[in-house]
Amino acid sequence: MRACRAVGARTVAVHSEADAFGAHVADADEAVLIGPAPSRESYLDGGKILAAARHSDADAIHPGYGFLSENWRFAEACADAGLTFIGPPAEAIRRMGDKSEARRLMAAAGVPVLPGSPEPVVDVAEAASLAERVGFPVLLKATAGGGGIGMAKVAEPAQLAAAFAAVQRRAEAAFGNGAVYVERYLAEPRHIEVQVFGDARGAMVHLHERECSIQRRHQKLVEESPAPGLDPAIKTRLTAAAVKGAAAIGYANAGTLEFLLDATGAFYFLEMNTRLQVEHPVTEEVTGLDLVVAQLRVAAGETLAWTQEAILQRGAAIECRVYAEDPAKNFLPSPGTISRLELPAGEGIRVESGVVEGSTVTVHYDPLMLKLVTRGASRAEAIARMSDALDRCVIQGVKTTIPFLRRVLAHADYRRGQVHTQMVEQGVFNA
């Protein structure tokens, strides 16, 4: 909504019955009710969104982060209805949505991938022979999965058959596609991703990297840019690989290539997110660029206004995600009405909130309430500002992840930039 105001575009919010008083509705020039609270009958119903666009005479649809943002059929339906989908071409979404095909396309473009199967495997016997070749432990992954859905680690040959059947069955149930591929399993890797941006004329740039290792069960908690302690030579190879991979598939608009980095400094492509991501503000803070304004411009057919040399990564930025969850109860969702809300403000602090005092967090949607983003001339300054910002938040009526985030920011390993993807599950930050 802010980006639209910046370019002089009027905005229409779509909302469910649960969100009539939502922050995005208050922010928009106009609002259209699209259905009841369950997202299947509202935000995930492409027909309802398209009908709302027709009703309000909209020119374009921004799909946001979740829901239909990576649904190639929806992107195609927008185009068929004469609406601009503010995102990549439907074909790029489709190809990257197949995780095995994404791996193959990136490998063909010269982007490093983990040893594994070039195609989905047809049966347990083929999975077993591939696993022997790449070496145990291996990870079995659903090609229609992604984001951690439909994976199983296999430590030894005896476990393979059962794991293969389980991943296949779960993938078939969740996605209607039981195809499975094999990859060597990397223990305790870092998760580093590269923001890329392309236009319809074939220009492609990167906006540096984000470190996203502090997560729990594939739900990110803390993200930052730059990735602390990343060797400059590795960083240069990483960003070059991301640009090469995105260009090779004819990508346009905002996208992110996810990589795993091991302790030796080797990195491997994991998957590509064909949308703007929740954590994009840290990239905006270190580059000084507005990614959503750029999305609008590129979607409208403008060429990219940025040259690679002019995209600088200055200082450091951190994002903490505040969820309505109780970290003392294994991050149990904590729905309810926010009876009191006081949020920090000031130099180097940016708050991106979807809630106000009186808002209700329902069980129907993701419990992310707001993001705190701080920047500083150095990582230490960004951390100091974040610790202070967390201390100044007052949220009553629901439990939040703030006490946990405080412990992460205070932890010696985090402060040294010594992070990996398994830390939260290992209990490193437990009180």
Q: Which residues bind ligand MV4 (CB under 6 A)?
A: 114, 139, 146-148, 183-186, 189, 191, 215, 218, 258, 260, 270-271, 421
Give the Cα separation of 173 and 393 in Å (integer). Answer: 41
Known active-site residue 275 = yes
Q: Which of 103, 190, 275, 406 is catalytic?
A: 275
CA angle, residues 234, 239, 240, in degrees to nearest 5: 95
Q: Of 16 and 69, which has the nearer Cβ to ligand MV4?
A: 69
Smallest distance, Å, CB 120 to ligand MV4?
15
Q: Tell me, rounded to whole angstroms, the distance of Cα 196 from its chain centroid.
A: 13
- Beta bridge partner(s), residue 183: 116, 139
Give the Cα separation of 104 and 111 in Å (integer). Answer: 10
Please confirm whether the linkage preceding 232 is cis (ω < 30° from 0). Answer: no
Q: Of 43 and 414, which has the nearer Cβ to ligand MV4?
A: 414
Q: Of 11 and 143, which has the nearer Cβ to ligand MV4?
A: 143
Taking the CA of residue 175 as centre, how many other CA atoms within 13 Å lie in the half-sphere pointing to its CB? Answer: 21
Smallest distance, Å, CB 425 to ligand MV4?
8
Question: Hey, CA dihedral for 16, 147, 296, 87, is it positive or negative?
Answer: negative
Give the Cα separation of 159 and 44 in Å (integer). Answer: 37
Smallest distance, Å, CB 151 to ligand MV4?
6
Residues 6 or more apart in contact with residue 33 via CB below 8 angstroms = 15, 16, 17, 20
Burial bucket for residue 47 (CB in 10 Å: 0-12, 13-18, 19+)? exposed
Smallest distance, Å, CB 97 to ligand MV4?
13
Q: Of 47 and 265, which has the nearer Cβ to ligand MV4?
A: 265
Smallest distance, Å, CB 183 to ligand MV4?
4
Q: Of 45 and 209, which has the nearer Cβ to ligand MV4?
A: 209
User: Active-site residues: which are they?
Assistant: 275
